[in-house]
Amino acid sequence: MAKGKKQQGKGGDAAADGPVSVVAHPRARTSIRRWRGRAGLLGLVLVTYLSMRAGVPAFDSVMRGLAGGLVAHFVAWMVGIVAWRHLVLAELAAHREAQETKVRELHEAAERRAADALAAQAAGR
């Protein structure tokens, strides 16, 4: 019996288990990973190119490029997390609003049915 409860808990919805996180969002995770890679490569290429143009020796240019790529990688990571945190919260707010609207419409429909039933009952007397 205890085994069934554990399996049921593992298969549950992620939102029901705990707070919402950016890591649990599938689009956020892949988007942040993609931007981190692109920013790192762009930082590497850009800093290396600018260093070579400035007349810095090749070894030093590549080392500066690696440092620039590393910085760009971490900056993109931080910016991606902040941006996706806001996007996930906005998605949750939109979903909550849609659910509240749906519940409100269901309550109004139930009230109309109850009013109609009362009217029909009163007309039948």
List, for residues 53-85, the tens digit of each pLDDT value: 999 999 999 999 999 999 999 999 999 999 999
On whether residue 8 sits in a domain, the answer given is: no
pLDDT of residue 35: 95
pTM reported for the whole predicted model: 0.65
Q: What percent of the chain has pLDDT over 70?
A: 85
Q: Containing domain of residue 62, as a range?
A: 26-124
Q: Is residue 43 part of a domain?
A: yes
Mean pLDDT within 26-40: 92
How many C-beta neighbours within 10 Å does residue 45 have? 13
Domain count, the chain: 1
Distances (CA, A) of 44 to 33, 54, 70, 88, 107: 17, 15, 8, 30, 58
In a domain, 41, yes or no: yes
Longest dimension (CA), the chain: 101
Q: What residues contact 46, with CB distance under 8 A and at least 6 apart? A: 65, 68
pLDDT tier at 123, thresholds 50, 70, 90: confident
- Whether residue 5 is contained in a domain is answered as no
**pLDDT single digits (tens) 14-24:** 445 567 778 88
CA–CA distance, 104 with 102 (Å, rounded to integer) = 5
